[in-house]
Structure 1
């Protein structure tokens, strides 16, 4: 996208406000559609068109981790933003994490805990460093990004305990603790929030989730995976359907690697937050792409929390699939989503 077009699109997105969506009850909904509605963003379509349709997903962990690595995104100089590499030894664990702060902003005594995505078996704090540095240019607190141990070498619930270690440390010095994450990291974040409250570590009221996956063991022929519910231009439906098929395979593999093949109750609210008591998540923001295969489960979570009396904002970006942080600097949506997240922190 040309720089001028990017700026115009970012300005357009910033002007879009809430609308009523009847099937998502109790939720403030913001739909940021493309001008060419119900079509893939050209950058996303380039990626989709380069992949064979309905191709079986590799089950090889090394190949999966390589395939899940984000594209190189542009480097930017965020003046005043400082990144420190630190370690938590709380709860008898050794957990590396990044502290991301901006000394040019007046800071409140609040902390944002961030949990990166990567299907539980991939990803790294470096993947989301640029989006978080951008967030740090406007967030009036300190951001902590956790380098938790990946499955299957560190299977469930290890990642949750790693994150609890950092939360336990950070909560000692901050009056307010918020939590965020993307994809599988958002699911881990919701498990952490529940346990932090139940164990008396701290109360986490603000949850900002980017395209979360929030249920294991769901019925892939059921309503949470029905791509026929998604409006899309007829000539692009084959790409949507193929992507849904790929994500159904990925969903099974995520559970397999996350649990290391062991038998867990997948309806536990810690591993599958869609089964949690929705009153646990009082202030919730869910940000997802129109064509993300996790969209329907994200809508279900937003409605559950909203009808239980929570303060819920659901933001859907037209033309986008999963993991649109990868398009920062290419698609204005990625930048706008961070601006929207900051409004709710």
Structure 2
């Protein structure tokens, strides 16, 4: 498929503006640029019944979270969401729009996690925070007006990686029992030898050099399954998965490889590849890319069916 016209136009606008690659910036400048791009190109938040900023006890201190509650009467299902940004960039604001949409379409309480970022807090800080919040959500079901037996995790890019890792942790720890995982173009391994990485490693926003910059800041041990869940020996017993990939994304093949390994392990899996699209088209760029909104709408519909089945 040719590059989606909206994606092509957006990439051209970035080139015309002379925006340097994020990996050539300081961490502070990369964070500010990422925020500005999402503010301009992301999906605006939808109205929901309630939005609250809370903190959750963590191993290294309080973890900020944002809780989105939809209209209706609880107890609601719950979705714990982890934002993308290569474990280095991003915060709660960059996924305000997607979280409100998912809360409304899935009719679920969405808890968005502001986990600690590298390089100030390298691996396993982000994993520890995401695990802590997921366990807290199940333990605080009454406070959040949720059903603790109907909890799923989700995330985009590095957040998709964290969602997969949290699901592995929950299985190993004997809980909480998750019903699903939604992985939007996830990082599943740190190796860069897939066809999609070679074909799409330059020219499509997320480059091989940028991924190396992210991973160098985040984790020294790429073989740890909490960094590269694709390397886990056994995937049986994990929750049902919905995996979204993009044709022109260097991460396409590793996301689809993880989905295939889940399927081989007997896990119910749905995979949705968006032809013509680039990395970040949904969670970060859905305000300017029609397929981005479509991807989020479909994920919301999947979650609603999962929660009500």
Alignment TM-score, normalising by the size of structure 2: 0.84
Unpaired runs of at least 5, structure 1: 1-37, 228-239
- Given the alignment, which residue of 287, 290, 300 partners 1:342? 300
- Do the aligned partners of 1:90 and 1:169 also contact (CA within 8 Å) in 2? no
RMSD: 2.5
Match of 1:299 in 2: 256
Match of 2:177 in 1: 203
What SS class does the counterpart of residue 169 from structure 1 fall into?
A: helix
What SS class does the counterpart of residue 122 from structure 2 fall into?
A: coil
- Do the aligned partners of 1:279 and 1:308 also contact (CA within 8 Å) in 2? yes
- Given the alignment, which residue of 100, 114, 119 partners 1:147? 114
CA positional deviation for 1:106: 4.2
- Do the aligned partners of 1:107 and 1:141 also contact (CA within 8 Å) in 2? no
Match of 2:268 in 1: 311
What SS class does the counterpart of residue 258 from structure 2 fall into?
A: helix
Say if 1:313 and 1:74 are closer, same or farther in 2 by CA, change over 3 A: closer
Match of 2:51 in 1: 83
Structure 2 distance, partners of 1:319, 1:254, is: 25
CA positional deviation for 1:126: 0.4
- Do the aligned partners of 1:292 and 1:320 also contact (CA within 8 Å) in 2? yes
Say if 1:88 and 1:318 are closer, same or farther in 2 by CA, change over 3 A: same
Stretch of structure 1 that moved more, 78-87 or 147-156 = 78-87
Q: Which has the higher contact order (CA 8 A, sep 6+)?
A: 1
Structure 2 distance, partners of 1:313, 1:226, is: 25
Match of 1:192 in 2: 166
Q: How does 1:4-153 map to 2 (within 5 A)?
A: 38-50=1-13, 51=15, 57-58=23-24, 60-69=26-35, 70-73=38-41, 78-91=46-59, 93-102=61-70, 104-153=71-120
Instruction: Confirm whether residue 268 of structure 1 aligns to residue 234 of structure 2.
Output: no
Structure 2 distance, partners of 1:222, 1:80, is: 41
- Do the aligned partners of 2:87 and 2:117 also contact (CA within 8 Å) in 1? yes
CA positional deviation for 1:75: 7.2
Unpaired runs of at least 5, structure 2: 142-147, 304-309
Structure 2 distance, partners of 1:86, 1:209, is: 25
Structure 2 distance, partners of 1:326, 1:92, is: 28
- Given the alignment, which residue of 321, 328, 340 partners 2:278? 321
- Do the aligned partners of 1:81 and 1:137 also contact (CA within 8 Å) in 2? no
Q: How many residues align?
A: 288
Alignment TM-score, normalising by the size of structure 1: 0.76
Structure 1 distance, partners of 2:197, 2:118, is: 24
What SS class does the counterpart of residue 166 from structure 1 fall into?
A: helix
Match of 1:235 in 2: none
Say if 1:289 and 1:82 are closer, same or farther in 2 by CA, change over 3 A: same
CA positional deviation for 1:180: 0.1
Stretch of structure 1 that moved more, 67-76 or 285-294 = 67-76
What do the CA deviations read for 1:214-247 (whole angstroms, capped 9, x no partner)? 112x1x34445231xxxxxxxxxxxx56336962
Say if 1:48 and 1:171 are closer, same or farther in 2 by CA, change over 3 A: same
Structure 2 distance, partners of 1:247, 1:75, is: 23
- Do the aligned partners of 2:64 and 2:114 also contact (CA within 8 Å) in 1? yes
